[in-house]
A = this chain, B = another copy of it.
Amino acid sequence: MSDIPNIPNEKKPTPKSIVLTSHPSSNVGAKPLPLEWGAADPAQRGPVVATLKNPGGKNAIGTHSGAYSLYRALAIAAGQLKAEHKPDLTNTAPAEPLGPFPQWADPEKIVSIDPWGHITSQVFAKQINAGWDIRPTIAVTKAHINMPELHDAVRAGRLKPDGNILAANGDVKVTKVAIEPVWYLPGVAKRFNISETELRRGLFEQTGGMFPELVTRGDLKVFLPPIGGMTVYLFGDITKLGKPATRIACRIHDECNGSDVFGSDICTCRPYLAHGIEVCIEEAQQGGVGVIVYNRKEGRALGEVTKFLVYNARKRQEMGDRAETYFQRTECVAGVQDMRFQELMPDILHWLGISRIDRLVSMSNMKFEPIVASGIQVVERVPIPDELIPADARVEMDAKKAAGYFTDKVPDQDELKKAKGRGLEE
């Protein structure tokens, strides 16, 4: 590692000159920093560098913090933050060690996360000392969480406080991990069975011209998309991750703000999440590890405006809100039934060193199939207990069961025709 070159002095752009990233002339002589995606040794892999300061000292398109990069830009434009601010990362290293796992060395197992993103300060220390602008894309901390539903589970005798993982006051000890998306474009393209060129062009054109470097800088292979990332909540002894004997309970949860926070009764999101946490606590109490992945993919990644438009269309249609037309109403408005793309989702499981899930707390085939296709064994699928389904959410549940979700009771055509959701005025 003694051959780390110093980054040439950062050019301060003169105040009057704007460098348009799409003009070939602005990139003359700018060769990306070396990066070998999937290399087992981080020295060989090389860091992801998305610095704004020096077009010659980077290898990624975009910048850090996902969509929050816009707020950072606003802070600098408004004079409240210095563009040259370098984070002081003292004491910020992971609260517990995590990895490396063999999956990190497979360039195709993980394509949307930087597996070394939480320990950049450690594995890329020499580069940082040589002046490279390297920032963490993952943070690992510890917390106590407390959800009212878990109190109910204790009262009902389903959960028993153990004084460690689950305290008598309902506090649950967790390790939690925040992750920003880091897309290795050749790997993402392969996941969707398209060419890298098609992917780059689609991302550029269909966002209204975001990041011309997607099409002008084919040599920059990594993209930090301005989208929400994910949070992982881990229950139990996380040093057991990556060991085949460790039993794993897991729920992959896609954000639904209306239910997750406000308890809206049109879907089963928060009840199923709370049930997943209950199963994770049980598993951890028995010596396994529980894993909740919370993905920022509001409204099937269509966003909440589209979601609410669909709610109105469902509740106003002739014959009322019924399972029969559940997916169709979304497709009319959005053009697709679902935009979550679970193709990239298994990455997080491989990052955690998981090769078998003993209890998958999900009925969704759209989640189950890519997990299994990515080489992870699923032993048991845990449906949501019937008593946790809100009345208005029967429409969703029936539609999903009829569409092939995991269940032992597939509703028939007559059942699907019944209006079960409230009208808008009720």
Residue numbers of A with Cβ under 8 A of B are 13, 18-23, 50, 52, 61-63, 65-83, 85, 87-95, 136-149, 152, 171, 174, 176-180, 192-194, 198-199, 201-213, 215-216, 224-229, 231, 233, 257-258, 260-266, 270, 273, 294, 297-299, 301-313, 315-317, 332-336, 339-341, 390, 392, 422, 424-425
Given contacts A20-B215, A209-B212, contact A226 B67 (CB under 8 A): yes
Please name all residues of chain B whose beta carbon is closer than 8 Å to the beta carbon of A144 when the two chains form the complex: 264-265, 392, 422
Q: How far is the CA of A63 from the CA of B178 in the complex (A)?
A: 27
Check A143–B264 contact: CB distance below 8 A: yes
Whole-angstrom distance between the Cβ of A68 and the nearest chain B Cβ: 4
Whole-angstrom distance between the Cβ of A28 and the nearest chain B Cβ: 16
Partner of A266, one of B80, B139, B143, B308: B143
Q: Can you pick out 21 interface pairs between chain A and chain B where the beta carbons lie within 8 Å of each other?
A: A18-B201, A18-B215, A19-B205, A22-B212, A62-B207, A67-B303, A70-B227, A71-B341, A72-B206, A72-B207, A74-B199, A77-B192, A139-B304, A139-B309, A140-B312, A143-B262, A143-B311, A144-B264, A148-B263, A171-B265, A231-B258
Per assembly, the copies of the chain total 2
Please name all residues of chain B whose beta carbon is closer than 8 Å to the beta carbon of A180 when the two chains form the complex: 303, 305
Partner of A202, one of B73, B149, B297, B315: B73
Q: How far is the CA of A20 from the CA of B68 in the complex (A)?
A: 25
Whole-angstrom distance between the Cβ of A48 and the nearest chain B Cβ: 13
Partner of A67, one of B82, B227, B392: B227
Q: How far is the CA of A72 from the CA of B139 in the complex (A)?
A: 28
Partner of A68, one of B77, B137, B205, B303: B303
Partner of A206, one of B22, B50, B76, B87: B76
Q: How far is the CA of A299 from the CA of B139 in the complex (A)?
A: 13
Which of A85, A228, A302, A316 neighbours the largest number of chain B CB atoms within 10 Å of its CB? A228
The chain B residue with its CB closest to the CB of A150 is B263
Check B336–A81 contact: CB distance below 8 A: yes
Q: How far is the CA of A73 from the CA of B82 in the complex (A)?
A: 33
Check B18–A204 contact: CB distance below 8 A: yes
Whole-angstrom distance between the Cβ of A91 and the nearest chain B Cβ: 4
Check A307–B178 contact: CB distance below 8 A: yes
Q: Add 11 more A-B contacts to A72-B339, A139-B312 (CB < 8 A).
A: A22-B22, A62-B210, A68-B227, A72-B207, A74-B339, A77-B203, A81-B339, A87-B332, A90-B332, A92-B333, A144-B264
Please name all residues of chain B whose beta carbon is closer than 8 Å to the beta carbon of A22 when the two chains form the complex: 20-23, 209, 212
Check A333–B73 contact: CB distance below 8 A: no
Check A333–B231 contact: CB distance below 8 A: no
Please name all residues of chain B whose beta carbon is closer than 8 Å to the beta carbon of A270 when the two chains form the complex: 261
Partner of A333, one of B80, B87, B305, B311: B87
The chain B residue with its CB closest to the CB of A193 is B78
Whole-angstrom distance between the Cβ of A5 and the nearest chain B Cβ: 22
Given contacts A18-B215, A139-B308, contact A273 B261 (CB under 8 A): yes
Check A178–B304 contact: CB distance below 8 A: yes
Check B70–A207 contact: CB distance below 8 A: yes
